[in-house]
Chain A
């Protein structure tokens, strides 16, 4: 009996000590330095990065670790030098949260004040929080206006929203839709609000859901929603397009391979211009890049700088753009023929002139839910815009207050 008890106790102690083990992530004083980068990307993208940093071996070994639930993991271990990665590769929209938590290092402290000179302005804006740069952008994505060439000839692509509306009225019948989008999802509907000069939230973190521009956009957008399916979700909208039942859609570049695999002859066109304002639909943009954890920056500064400088080379950006289907963050890439020859990348570059980076302020975290509820209330539950907007604005203010 005593023997069994002893074994049990030793087992538990072993488990407990095992739970607190570190990742073996710390730099060694002698020998190679290991740089760990957490990411959530597909293998092809990481293979490009891995290939690029091979040149730094054997002095610097870079380990890419795919993490599910990375944003939550960073909150938990972001300042633990035994568990935190050295960098993470993710979209820019969490920069504000992590900067406020104090786990990020401004990249200018590592690469100098002109670190992002020569980058696409949109990407620099996305990487900036409270006047400081926290990300090395690698590539960016914007939503695109896609159409099925079987139904719409290039010369007939709606150039304005009223032309699009007229097309929807004509073609939405017998199970077909002239145009579909995730109409009640803030990431997609924001383009319409921006097209009216409004926004979901301003740079100071104040919600703008009851602004005149936002309300005008909601009212105008609603007439388009009436010609779209009841569902607003990704799967339904995209399946309608890949099945050839929707003639046009707004979707991200990640959708193009699926569309092509489905045998759709897809065309990419500029975003329609809102007739009332003369502004194009201006979607949100996501900037994917590297962020450096403060807790590791001090002890591995030189190695981190070398890795960043290697991955900032324009040729890496071009390779990344090709495998990810996104647009390079470095402006000089757009002089290269292999980039200019790609209509998808050039369409994104064109949209980037008017696209707006997703807000990277912490307050945006609550806006996705509140703005989503507002869109659903107006588009799907038939609530009046005026009271629905006022209620959403009140709720957003309450939740932002509750954040502090």
Chain B
């Protein structure tokens, strides 16, 4: 006997959910639970003095956390926006150029270039950052410093000044982030139907016109999610800036702070988990708002 169509659909839906249960549990444990637990801890007085016997204290941590959101935090927020914008713009531009070069017809040793370009991705970020800091920017032994000394006779302390430290951090961040973006764009370029370009060539369109009218519109939906991921990664960047300029014991004199490094220096070192959690939740809310704004812009651009 044949089952009614609605019943069949319902059964399929139930099976779909059932099959998804293991991954949903994992997502809950790895993503949702830590957020909820952080929210819970932010309402308590968990600190060194009340480590195992903490009490719920309401929103008092949030009241105190607002003090962190002072003028220093606002300048850190501005710096974060500039950092994100500069890095994203450069990443997209450089990745676009390199992935186009990788797709040049009859390019010899294409796979060798790709492997080399993926290399920074294979290295642990911590190692890469410290290698750059010591191997390139160090004022005694850095390669860049020695080149500059040979060329101009001047010893440049790359990481001591805010502007040059910002540029150095950007270079390192690009080194770390470009492989991902190149890989995505390379894949995107390969998925564009070659007949579009053939037609455009027949119509007399040059390479730049083809890039603007064919490549970019076709790439946009493919790289959209990757751009969003990279945007957030860059926005909440900590390790590049911290390890390059602020690590305790090897500070350089530069004072560039993103919201995360600022929060770390003004809350997380206090061992006050309630207070630090409140700040984490507030930054989380900021990121959610940022995501909403970005999504709206994206929707607006699509319509």
Contact = CB atoms under 8 A, between A and B. Distances in A.
Interface of A: 1, 5, 8-9, 11-12, 75, 79, 97, 100-103, 182, 184-185, 187, 229-236, 239-240, 362, 365-366, 368-369, 372-373, 376, 380-381, 399, 402-404
B248 interface: yes
Interface in B28-60: 47-49, 51-52
B249 A232 contact: yes
B265 A231 contact: no
A12 B25 contact: yes
Interface in B263-290: 265-267, 269-272, 275
B249 A399 contact: no
Which of A1, A365, A376 has the most chain B CB within a 10 Å cutoff?
A376
A230 B160 contact: yes
Given A230-B157, A235-B134, A239-B141, A365 B269 contact: yes
B157 A232 contact: no
Contacts of A235: 134, 250
Interface stretch (B15-23, B95-103, B197-205, B232-240): B15-23
Nearest to A233: B250
Interface string B139-171: 111000000000000010100100000000000
Given A365-B269, A376-B253, A231 B52 contact: no
10 contacts: A97-B48, A100-B48, A187-B249, A235-B134, A239-B141, A369-B265, A369-B269, A376-B253, A399-B270, A403-B271
Given A100-B48, A231-B138, A236-B141, A182 B157 contact: no
Which of A75, A234, A376, A402 has the most chain B CB within a 10 Å cutoff?
A402
B138 A12 contact: no
B19 A233 contact: no
A368 B25 CA distance: 41
A53 to B, nearest CB: 30
Contacts of A100: 48-49, 51
Nearest to B61: A402
Which of B25, B139, B250, B266 has the most chain A CB within a 10 Å cutoff?
B250
Contact of A404 (B15, B49, B267): B49
B253 A402 contact: no
Nearest to B139: A230
B226 interface: no
B114 interface: no
* B: contact size bracket: 35 or more
Nearest to B45: A404
A79 B26 CA distance: 27
A380 B134 CA distance: 18
A102 B48 contact: no
Contact of A403 (B15, B21, B160, B270): B270
List the 3 closest A-B pairs by CB distance, nearest first.
A233-B250, A380-B253, A101-B51
A103 B269 CA distance: 20
A182 B155 CA distance: 19
A271 to B, nearest CB: 21
Looking at chain A's contact residues, the main secondary structure is: helix
Contacts of B18: 5
B12 to A, nearest CB: 12
B122 to A, nearest CB: 22
Contact of B52 (A102, A372, A376, A404): A102
Nearest to A375: B251
Which of A1, A11, A12, A368 has the most chain B CB within a 10 Å cutoff?
A12
A101 B52 CA distance: 7
Given A101-B52, A239-B141, A380-B253, 7 more contacts: A12-B25, A101-B51, A185-B250, A229-B140, A362-B49, A366-B269, A402-B267
B210 interface: no
Contacts of A404: 47, 49, 272
B64 interface: yes
A239 B251 CA distance: 17
B143 to A, nearest CB: 14
A240 B141 CA distance: 9
A43 B271 CA distance: 31
A372 B51 contact: no
B272 A182 contact: no
A9 B22 contact: yes
A402 B249 CA distance: 23
Nearest to A371: B248
Given A12-B25, A362-B271, A240 B140 contact: yes
Contact of B139 (A182, A231, A368): A231
Given A381-B255, A402-B64, A234 B249 contact: yes
A323 B94 CA distance: 53
Contact of A372 (B249, B267, B270): B249
A306 B140 CA distance: 52
A154 to B, nearest CB: 28
A235 B248 CA distance: 13
B75 interface: no
A184 to B, nearest CB: 6
Nearest to A395: B266
Nearest to A399: B270
Nearest to B265: A369
Contacts of B51: 75, 100-103
A14 to B, nearest CB: 12
Which of A9, A184, A240, A381 has the most chain B CB within a 10 Å cutoff?
A381
B252 interface: yes
A270 B140 CA distance: 28
Contacts of B22: 8-9, 11-12
A65 B21 CA distance: 37
Contacts of B266: 399
Contacts of B139: 229-231, 236
A276 B294 CA distance: 61
A215 B285 CA distance: 42
Which of B26, B47, B48, B155 has the most chain A CB within a 10 Å cutoff?
B48
Contacts of A368: 248
Contacts of B157: 230
A402 B272 contact: yes
